[in-house]
Structure formats: C-alpha cells, structure tokens
Structure 1
Amino acid sequence: MSSLGGQPILILKEGSQRTRGRDAQSGNIAAAKAVASAVRTTLGPKGMDKMLVDTIGDVVITNDGVTILKEMDIEHPAAKMMVEIAKTQDDEVGDGTTSAVVIAGELLKRAEDLLDQDVHPTVIAHGYRIAADKAQDILNEIAIDIKPDDIEMLKKLAETAMTGKGAEAAKEKLTELVVKAVTMVADADGTVDTEYVKVEKRVGGSIEDSEIVEGMIIDKERVHPAMPRIVKDAKILLLNAAVEFKKTEVDAEISITSPDQLQMFLDEEERMIRGIVDKIVASGANVLFCQKGIDDIAQHYLAKAGILAVRRVKKSDMEKLARATGAAIVSSIDAIAPEELGKAGTVEEKKVSGEEMIFVTECENPKAVSIIIRGGTEHVVDELDRAIEDALRVVSVAVEDKKFVAGGGAPEIELSLRLREYAATVGGRAQLAIEAFANALEIIPRTLAENAGLDPIDMLVALRASHEKGGANAKYMGLDVFNAASGDMLKAGVVEPLRVKTQAVSSAAEAAIMILRIDDVIAASKSSAPAPGAEDMGDMGGMGGMPPM
C-alpha cells in the first residue's frame, strides 16, 4: 500500500500478505531449518526411522530422506526448496539426500549468525559460492580411483548405501545381488542405465530368499491353461500388434441377408486369425510376448501349436526383454521373421508368493536383469526396495565416474579444515562466509555422532586432531560409530561415490544462497470460491427487508 497526498492506494489484492527485510529472511530460514531438523535424526548407520501416515491412513516407515520429504505435505515455499534439493540429489545420485538437506539447513543457520552481525546477504552468498567451488576442487583432489571390475570395492559402496536402511540382516546377500546386476547391465563404454534392472517386490519368505534372475521376470501369466508351463531352448517373439482380426479403419456396416452368409463371415474371421497364428508358428517362435491383446480363437490355436503366449505386456518390459534376449520388437504381423526372434535357455511360469509370474532365464548375455525382493511384511519389502534402489544407483554412479571418497564424515572434516585455511588467504568479509561454510560442513560428523548416542564435541575434537596430524591416511579418518572413535574409513570399507558428495555440497550451497537472497515475500490471498450461483445474486443483504444471506 502506498499513499498519494494522504490518499491510500492499494497495489496488492485485498488479503495479500507481504513480509520484508529481516522478517522475510528469518521466516524462510526457520522453515528451511525445520525441514533439515525433520530428517536429521535419520542420518547414518545408527539413524532412526520415521513413520508417515497419509490422509487415507496408508503408512510408510522409512529413513530415506527423499521419501520422507516427498510424503510430508509441505506448504511453506522456502521449505519446498529443501524438498527440491533432496529430489535433485535422488535423481542425480540416488543417495546422500539426507546429507544434502542437513548441510543446506546448517549453511542457513550459520548465515543467520552472520546476518545478526550485519553482514550483507549478498556478501554471504558470494562467500558461499567461492567456498562451494573450492570444496569441489578439494573433493576431486581427495577422491580415489576405482576400476569398474573391482567387485570388492563396489560391494563396499553398495553396503555403505544400504547401511541403516533396514537391510543389515542380509547385507552380504543384497550387496552381491546389486553389484552383479549393475556389472551385467553396464555397457561397453562404461555407462549404466539402472532402468534395465527390474526390481520385483513380493511379500512372503525372508530377506534371504531374495534372488537375481539373469534375464527378465514378467508379472503376467500364460493366456491359456493348455499352453506349456515351461519352454526349454526358447525362441522368443516380441510383438507390438494385436493377434486378432483387423477391424476396418473407417466405420463400416456389413449387411448380411442369409444365415450362410453369416457363417461365411465368421469362418473368414477365424481364417484370418488362423493365418496370423500360422505366421507366428512358421517363424519358429515357441514363446510369444504380445504388447496388445490376443483373441480367444488365437489363444486356442497358439496352445495347439505348443506356444507359450503372454498378452498385454508393458512397453518398458518389452524393451527390457529385447535387451535381455536379443529379440527385436515387431510392430506388424507381416514383418514376423526368424531373424527377429530372441533366445533364452528357459521360459517358465512359476508361482511366487501365490502369484503366477513368467521367468525368462539363461539368456546368453543379458543386458537387462531382474531382482526379486522378499520380506516378511509389506513395510519391510518397501524399505528394502528403497535400499536396493539407492545401492543400484550408487554402484552405477561409481562405475560411470570411476571415483569414490571415504565416508563416515571424513571428507567433510577434511573440507572444513582446508576451507578454513583457504579463508585466511581470501580476506575481506567473504572470509567470514567461507569460514561459516567450513563450520557448517561439520554438521555431518556431528549428526552421525549424535545419532549414535556419542558426545558430538568429543568426537569432533578427535576427528579434527586426526586430520591435522597429517600422514598418508589422515584424510580418510572418519567417525567409527560402532567403536565410538575416529578410524580409517577406507580400511573399514565405509566408502561413497565422489558424485554423492559433490552433488550434495553444490545443491545445498545453491539452495542456501537462493533462500538468503530473498528479502521480500509477497503472498497472494487464499482464494475462497464463492458459493454456486452467489456471483449472480450480488449483495442482496438488506434488499426490501430481506434477511442478509
């Protein structure tokens, strides 16, 4: 609202709210810190879980940062930015979501202290940018190279990603499944698309019953009971066309005047379907996966020919089948030919937890594989699924980047020390912001200690001391939460891909800078919809003695 010669002028709609200056900053920072503190207790191997209940009473039990933030119904705009950090981290790397959010929250907390000392927000933002760039350089410097065929190290990476996610009981088994899956689907140029690892969840049995299938599992059953349950030495046809008679493209009416004409019409339909089945049989295929429908008559003829057929297979599953078996997806009945077929040792229909599934196994060089996860309850299976997804992404990132760092808060302590040294060389007010950035990174080892029930100050002092000592392994010294002491994380096998750290630091810094630079929040009023028909009635209150509505 502005005033012109004593006359108030309204610029914003009535009911709009405006907060500016320090009030706006502290409101945004408080909201972002609240989000960070919500997920902070889940960090690390001793982190706790959250139970989230939605409006219809569905329960999710997890300690995966991004899942918690997605399930929480967050309203505040600054808090939503924190959720975006977690989503970006999850899309890019698959792990480290909690770390990224916690670092962003701490960066804002440290910035608030500087704002209280009258340091301008743009100075803090500038310092944070310099610090984030320097941090990337230091991380690249302390990273260790890994070969894509170093299976032991890849297993350790997968194990670190799964630790604290309810998968400890069968860690050995699951890490083996994950590393095997990633190394099988990896392309020759070192890229890994985890889309080609299909994860199927089944409640029943124990975690130990989880297995990898070197091929595909399709959550469907045979279309006809007379079809064979198992086909050895399978020749597989992938068809993206319906096995039924063609309907006319345009609306057409066929007038039939006598019963024998009707019979001829029906016989011709059957002959057309018979012709399609004959083409499939002639190609030598003994297994058919169809993306569309299979007519009842066609099912009968396919069963008589001893072909195992599955219909309405998802497009994504068809693509994975093509990769696993080497078949081409055929889009036209006329294009069916022997050279389009794929091969598999066995195609079999099996019952898993009371449901029929088709297993395509013994493929020659499957570039698409499946993992079946088993567990006692639905919540256990869901959390295992999240842990395996994280581990798959982490291992694939390590295979692609060929670099990793030690875990357990070791890189954060090293960054903190090196950034403090660097701050002294920068000078000016930016130095304060770089120091604040360095201090903020220590939130990771501090939180790991708190969540393990240890004294955070004692642990931080011990960690700093072991890093300052110098020596070949000083930069790998992190918090060993099981022995309540600082230890060599590389020896302990607590390792993470380099990208987990670089992405977490850069996205946390970007979000903190963005929130810091906001000094004015203009919120529109919540529009309440008028009652139906009310807009036509105008204000009838007091009209001719009518009661106000």
Structure 2
Amino acid sequence: MSLKQQASQGAEVNEKMAALMTNANAVRAIASAVEGTLGPKGLDTMLVDKFGEVVITNDGVTILTMMEANHPAARMVINIAKSQQEEIGDGTTTATVMAGTLVSAGVEQVAKGVPVARVIEGIRSGVRRALEVMKEQALPIEDLQHPWLNQVALVAGREHRDIAELVVEAARLIGQEKLLDANFKLSDTVMSQEGANNQVFMGVIVNKETMNKQMPKELENVKVLVIDDALEPEQIEDEALGTEAGFARYLELQSEFKANVQKIIDIGTGLVLVDRGVSDIAEEMLTDAGVMVVQRVLNKELRRAAEHTGARVIKRTGLKKDSAELEKYLGAAKKVIENEKLEQLWILDGSGKPMATVLVGAATEEVVGERERIAKDAASSVQAAVKGGVVPGGGALELAVSREVEKLKENTRGMAAYGVGCVAETLRRPMAQIVSNAGFNPLEKIGDVLSAQVEQNKISLAVDCDTGDIVDMFDLGVLDPALVKIHALKAAGEIAEAILRIDTIIKMKDYQQSETNSLER
C-alpha cells in the first residue's frame, strides 16, 4: 500500500471516529444535565426561557423535554427518555444517565481499536443477561395493603409523605384489576391546583364551571348525560333560508330541537356535559329546569366522566330517540359539586367504573407544578410496582447485576467481551452517581458495597445517603418498581447501539429551498 493510500485510509478512519466522538459528547452532555438530580440528595435544576419564565424541577423528563437541544444525537436520547416516560412514567433520569455511560464506555473501546460490531455484540449480550437477572429478582406485590407500596410511592415521590399517602390511597380505591389494565394510567388521575387542599376522592374533576350562575351549585343522586357533540339545532345554509321551503325547514328544526331538550329534562337529567357549544335556547330551558350544564369539556375529561358515571356517550342526532331509549344513555353520580374557588366541577361516586382523583395543592403556581410532577411520578411507580413487582433501590440491584454481567464477560470469547464490560460499568453508574450526589466517594463506597453483597450474599445492600453506612435497602424502605429498572436499562442499550452504529454524519439538503429555486427557474 502506498503512503498516499495509507494517508487516505487514515483520514477516513479519523473522520468516522470524529463522528462517533461528536455523538458521544452530545449524549454525555444530555446525561450531565440530569445526573445531579439522581437520588435522595439530588438537587434541582432551574430552566429559564427567553422571556425569563422559570421552572424549577428535579424531574428528569421535564428537564430533558424543556431544555434546548439541537444536536441530533442529543434529541435521540431525549426521545428515548420520552418513551420511558410514556411506557412506565418514571425512571427517565436513570435511563439517561445509563445511556450516557454506556455510549461513553462503548466509544472508549472503539477508540482503543475494538471493532464497533464486536462492541455492539457484547452490549447486546450484556444487556440481555442483565435484564434476565433483574426479572428474576423482582418480588411481586399481590396485596394493595402491602407496606411496600407506601415505600415505593415515598421514594418516587421524593420523600413527600403527604403525596405518597394520597397516591397509595387512590390506588387502593381504584383496585388491582384497574391498575393492571394496560389502557389505564394512575398518573392521569393526578391533578394540581393553586390554593387547593390535598385530597383524594372517588370521582372525577371537570376543569370547567357551569354555564351560568343561575344553575345549581350542588346536586345529589344525579343522572348524567354526556354529549360528544354540540347541543345546538341543526344548521340551515343561508341561501336555503331565503326560500319559503328553507325557512319552513328552519322552523321545523328549531321545534324539533326544543322537543329534544325538553326530553332531556323530562327523563330527569341533572347534569349535561357537552363536548362543544350549547345554544341559548338549550341553556335557557335547562337553567329553568334546574339542570347543571357544562360546555366545551375537554374530550379526555368527557370520556373519564362517562366512564365513571356509566353514561353512554351520545351524538346530537341521538337525542331524537324516544325517552325510554334515551334513558339508557344516562349515567349516575351520588353528588355533583361546582367548586367556584377552583373553577371546577366535581363528579363524585359515579355508578360506572371506579375512578379516583388525586388533587394536589400548593401556595404558588411554580410549586404546584412541581408537586404535580412528583405526584405523577409516584403514581406511575405505584402502578408499575403492582404490575411488575419491586426490587431494592439505591443502585443496589444494578450493582448486584453488574457482578453477574462480569461473570458473563469472563465466559465470552473474543473482543465482544469488551462490550459486555461496558454494560457492567454502566450498571455501576447509578449507585456511583447517587453516592456522589450525597457527598461521598463513589469509588470507595462501591467497593465496600460489592464486598458486603458478596460476604453477606445480599443483593439489597447499598449506601445510606444520610450516614454513608452500608445498609439493607429493604430495611431502609428504599424500594423501586422492577419495571422502571428493566425499561431504563433496555432504553440505554437501544440508544447506545443506535449511536455506536453511526460513523458518518451528512447534512441533508433543504428540499423546500430546492423546490423554491426550481420554481423560480
């Protein structure tokens, strides 16, 4: 090979390595932005927009989604964190920190001369083994009265005992069957309001007031009608109104509409929830009849109200049904209250599916937003614990699993062993960061914990962040949902493999600009 060919080949290798390093640095920067929040001693992050508006939070996914990130690799990590949040509802910080470590460790091996394909092979093998061990260690929660559930909520709720108690009470009200439903999210039952008192109740909240002050403020044993449409007469085209037949049709529709509204009143409806607008005619008739009416209800709230009260959602045309048929669409609730202070309607003790609401309050808008995020994390963790069991927290499980991955490394032939080693290093990272945030030396403490876990044959040993002592996380009450750990590692493995496979970065042409230039020519 000539010197010229060697130089060309060397330049190509350097270019590919530069692309890998650029992506790795972007991922590491994203991980650095959230790693300081990890653990009980983690600190908050202040996010400031161009208008000077401030958000102060300890929530990883909030930081990631609100921070400015232009690098494509950085956005890939943020998307993985969003996926973790959507799937589990918690663990985004852990997933991001692990992804940063796994990418950095993989790039380091590539820089030393290990082929990318072998590193990826080892990472896949290591992650697969780690996930197997994690699943084996999960301890199920079969009873919603189990004290572990309170501890999971307390840890995920960042030691806010009042929030943890509300979330667990809501879970118990809803029941295990509903919590195991793949389409139900306990975090959706969490709401926050400035000036509200913390409470949990069986019912749903509609964030709207009744249409006017003459409507009742409170009703008991209420029949509920849910209209996924406008409560207005059918419209006639302006051109048609100019004709005799068109005007006659208009009068007919008005009369028919009034009859339909009267039907709503006659079947004893006490509350009408409407997706869109309500006409003046309907408002007047329903007000005179003492019916509560709420218009332009968010579709999500409309569906929850229907589910809780047992109402069958109906369209405007469905109101033409006879009274006996229309009654079958009604739901029921023991009480409906308009909270004028909070500008909300509370529907309590519906006859449909059990639906609890967790209302979290605080003194200021900034604080109430953070308390809602904390409560949603706690709710997500409680549901994940019911679904997949619990494991010791504080990084104890990951550290124990790293020992199993190290054993796999010893039995792995060839250069794939280096990739397996990257996974073992990544699994040690959560405890290292938690200990570091607590003000202790992570290298010293991890060595001590590893020795203690082996000597006592306990995977639940970790560091007490208050004293620095090695303690059993089960005794300390530091428990995490197994699904949070499993999905965090799985997400980290996916993003690491995706980043390591990129060896060239090419800027795409601006198709819109190209089309504009073509038209100009």
Q: TM-score of the superposition, structure 2-length normalised?
A: 0.89
Shift of 1:99: 0.9
Higher mean C-alpha deviation, range 123-132 or range 177-186: 177-186
1:274-289 to 2 correspondences below 5 Å: 274-289=258-273
Task: Return the letter of the residue paired with 1:174.
Answer: I
Matches within 5 A, 1:260-271: 271=255
Gaps of 5+ in 1: 1-16, 539-549
Secondary structure of the equivalent of 1:235?
strand
1:218-253 Cα deviation digits (max 9, x unpaired) = 111121322221111111111234333322379513
Q: Distance in 1 between matches of 2:141 and 2:391?
A: 10
Match of 1:160 in 2: 155
Amino acid at match of 1:57: G
Give the match for residue 281 of structure 2: 297
Equivalence for 1:361: 348
Aligned to 1:146: 141
Q: Secondary structure at the match of 1:74?
A: coil
Aligned CA-pair RMSD: 2.9
Matched residue, 2:181: 191
> Tell me, what secondary structure is at the counterpart of 2:345?
strand
Give the corresponding residue for 2:199. 211
Aligned-pair distance for 1:90? 1.0
Code of the aligned partner of 1:202: Q
* Secondary structure of 1:36's aligned partner: helix
Is 1:55 aligned to residue 50 of structure 2?
yes
Q: Could you tell me which residue of structure 2 aligns to residue 452 of structure 1?
A: 438
The separation in 2 between residues aligned to 1:196 and 1:85, in whole angstroms, is 20
* Structure 1 residue 366 displacement after superposition: 4.5
TM, length-normalised to structure 1:
0.84
Q: 17, 20, 24: which one pairs with 2:19?
A: 24
Alignment of 1:174-189 (within 5 A): 174-186=163-175, 188=177
Distance 1:518 1:384, change over 3 A: same
Within 5 Å, give how 1:338-353 maps onto structure 2: 338-352=327-341
CA gap of 1:53–1:350, structure 2 versus 1, over 3 A, is same
SS at match of 2:25: helix
Give SS of 2:222's match.
strand
Match of 1:3 in 2: none
Q: 1:256 to 1:191 in 2, by over 3 A?
A: closer
Between Structure 1 and Structure 2, the one with more helix by share is 2
Q: Distance in 1 between matches of 2:492 and 2:36?
A: 18
What is the CA–CA distance in structure 2 between the aligned matches of 1:424 and 1:238, rounded to whole Å? 64
The alignment status of 1:97 with 2:92, answered yes or no, reads yes
Contact 2:276 2:295 in 1 (8 A): yes
Q: Quote the Cα distance in structure 2 between the aligned partners of 1:210 and 1:432.
A: 51
Q: Which of 175, 191, 194 pairs up with 1:200?
A: 191
Shift in Å, 1:196: 8.2
1:238 and 2:226 correspond: yes
Tell whether the 8 Å contact from 2:187 to 2:376 is kept in structure 1 after alignment.
Answer: no
Which residue of the partner structure matches residue 383 of structure 1?
Answer: 370
Matched ranges for 1:444-483 at <5 A? 444-471=430-457, 474-483=458-467
Question: For the structure 1 residues 37 and 468, does the alpha-carbon distance in structure 2 shift closer, same or farther, using more than 3 Å as the test?
Answer: same
Residue 371 (structure 1) aligns with: 358
Larger Rg: 1
Deviations 1:485-515 (A, max 9, x none): 2211112111111111111111111211221
Q: Is the 8 A contact 2:140 2:386 kept in 1?
A: no
- Listed as ranges, the matches of 1:285-434 within 5 Å are 285-331=269-315, 332-335=318-321, 337-352=326-341, 355-364=342-351, 366-401=353-388, 403-434=389-420
For 1:413, the aligned partner's letter is L
Q: 2:208 aligns with which of 220, 241, 257?
A: 220
- CA–CA distance in structure 1, aligned partners of residues 513 and 52 of structure 2: 28
Alpha-carbon distance in 2 for matches of 1:254, 1:458? 88
Q: CA deviation at 1:327?
A: 1.3
The alignment-based identity, stated in percent, is 30
